Structure 1
Amino acid sequence: MCSIVKNQYELCEEIGRGRFGTIFRCFNPTTNQVFACKIINKTLLTDSTDRNCLLNEPKYMTLLSPHPNILQIYHFSEDDDVLSIVMELCQPLTLFERILKTNGSNTLTEPQSAFIMHQLLSALAHCHTLGVAHRDIKPDNILFDSKDNLKLADFGSAEWFGEGKKMSGIVGTPYYVAPEILMGREYDEKVDVWSCGVILYIMLSGIPPFYGDDAAQIFEAVVRGNLRFPSRLFRSVSSSAKDLLRKMICRDASRRFSAEQALRHPWILSGGETAELS
């Protein structure tokens, strides 16, 4: 732990572990508040890409805070060997784990899905307004605080795009990555909307829209972008929800909804409460 952070916080038990560091619950004895502290061993960062990703996170989180649906950073310190980030403490289960712990179908109801998607799109609209694309939206990066508010986390792959500036580079995660990224094209912030659409599809059906036996097959399916709604999985899903999915998981990025447009869709505005079923 960096000396500056160590002077203000007391480390408690370990609550998570990653490739380069460990997350602890920590306590500020002055304010009696509890936080999460990510401690990263910089000596393990032999790859410049890994180092840039880890340094990106506090930079973008600081820029984007405060927002009710973005994980808040409170303190960031660095010395020769250690990087410490003090953040708000969240519940242990990510959205991915919540979906797996549902009633056995790995699906959520339309109101549950709309509630989560409204918060996620609100966070993304805020990011995009400030010129930041997340570029790795997936259920594993979606946390919840003690009051069950969604918190978007892990900005290690984020990129500044500014007004009219395009991005490039292969980033993201199989199942969730947008086709234009895989095709090596320049792209814009709507890659995040594609990923959100994939998450919504999974919440409503229990499976991803594009899949395969390995990463290569998944990527091929994503690039084809042949969106389908199998009747056995979408029989009870409203046509309004499917309409939003088509507009978010749209292979043509110029026609794909922005985060702001998705927030104004009738299915989101109604909280998923629609009687129209297909």
Structure 2
Amino acid sequence: MLSESLKKNKYQACEEIGRGRFGVISRVFCPMTQSSFACKTIDKRLLSDPTDRECLENEPKIMTLLSPHSNIVQIYDMFETEDTVQLILDLCQPLTLYDLILQPDLSEPKAASYMQQLVLGLAHCHRFGIVHRDIKPDNIFFDSRGNLKIGDFGSATWLGELGTVDGLVGTPYYVAPEVVMGRPYNEKVDIWSAGVVLYVMLAGAPPFFGETAEEIFEAVLRGNLRFPSRIFRSVSADAKDLLRKMICRDVSRRFSAEQVLRHPWILNGGQTISMD
């Protein structure tokens, strides 16, 4: 249900297209521009944790700062009532990167294209001192033309004066080890997560796994990056080299977004014949 203030403006409510922890996402239509958008409605009554409330306040500010960028979901409007906050965003396709990863024919060139677009978006965030903190396939969307867009900035935050933040934020399979250890961390946690996304694209499974969140965290902390031959026999050496440099426990040696974009596998569009 759209708020009265939103109704009085330029949007008409259409069907619900998604549901999350704190609310729903609906399609809305703007008669003035003859365009459709996504409306993310957040129920403030569900935000009992102070951290969640802070994220609610930060999300529209961060998205406004980052907009427009071809690889980031754009925010167009925001409306607030006593109980809800409603964000008017790019309307993306119903399929996320998670859905595409489940398809068996994801080639290296296609994976390289997705990774380049993802890291271009991350580089833009990092230039503004913003760390996303929840990069995973479910938060990676596509517009009507097939362009990749990073979405869901509910966990994003600004890096502090020291260039670091803290807090156990993220999704177990994709979270960086320094986050799990409770140490202050920087924007390179997004690169670790993006590296795990790349691994999943190429292997169909995450590099670190377990039956529970605790077991997954333990595997992440061990950080034993392996390339099982039955899965990776047809994956190029360049792709594996990039994975090692993104999923690197030593933060000082882990690639930055700009370094990822300059890696041969990205520059060559995944077109490589070199094998281990």
- Category of TM-score, reference length = shorter chain: over 0.9
**CA shift for structure 1 position 254:** 0.5
Q: TM-score, normalised by structure 2?
A: 0.96
Q: Which amino acid aligns with 1:86?
A: I
Equivalent in the alignment of 1:123: 121
Aligned mates of 2:184, 2:21 — CA distance in 1: 30
Q: Which amino acid aligns with 2:108?
A: E
Aligned mates of 1:192, 1:272 — CA distance in 2: 21
Equivalent in the alignment of 2:241: 243
Equivalent in the alignment of 1:145: 143
Aligned mates of 2:194, 2:57 — CA distance in 1: 25
Aligned mates of 1:123, 1:72 — CA distance in 2: 12
Equivalent in the alignment of 1:65: 67
- For structure 2, the 5+ residue unaligned runs are none
Aligned mates of 2:197, 2:249 — CA distance in 1: 16
**CA shift for structure 1 position 50:** 2.2
Matched, 1:91 2:89: no
Q: Which amino acid aligns with 1:83?
A: V
Quote the RMSD (CA, aligned, Å). 1.2
Matched, 1:3 2:22: no
Distance 1:238-1:163 versus aligned 2 partners, 3 A rule: farther
Equivalent in the alignment of 1:275: 273
Superposed CA offset, 1:187-232 (max 9, x none): 1100000000000001001111111121111101100111111100
Contact 1:138 1:196 in 2 (8 A): yes
1:253-268 alignment, distance < 5 Å: 253-268=251-266
Question: What secondary structure does 1:193 align onto?
Answer: helix
Question: What secondary structure does 2:174 align onto?
Answer: coil
**Percentage identity across paired residues of the two chains:** 64
The number of residue pairs the alignment matches comes to 274
- Please identify, of 36-45 and 220-229, the stretch whose mean Cα deviation from structure 2 is larger: 36-45
Aligned mates of 1:215, 1:159 — CA distance in 2: 23
1:37-116 alignment, distance < 5 Å: 37-100=39-102, 102-103=103-104, 108-116=106-114
Aligned mates of 1:190, 1:44 — CA distance in 2: 31
Equivalent in the alignment of 1:230: 228
Q: Write out the 4+ residue segments of structure 1 that deviate beyond 3 Å after TM superposition.
A: none
Contact 1:122 1:263 in 2 (8 A): yes
Q: Which amino acid aligns with 1:2?
A: S
Question: What secondary structure does 1:175 align onto?
Answer: helix
Aligned mates of 1:148, 1:65 — CA distance in 2: 18
1:122-201 alignment, distance < 5 Å: 122-161=120-159, 164-201=162-199
Q: Which amino acid aligns with 1:6?
A: K
Q: Which amino acid aligns with 1:35?
A: F
**CA shift for structure 1 position 77:** 1.4
Matched, 1:20 2:18: no
- For structure 1, the 5+ residue unaligned runs are none
Aligned mates of 2:75, 2:94 — CA distance in 1: 17
**CA shift for structure 1 position 20:** 2.0
Superposed CA offset, 1:90-129 (max 9, x none): 00011111112x13xxx62100100000000000000000
Aligned mates of 2:205, 2:25 — CA distance in 1: 30
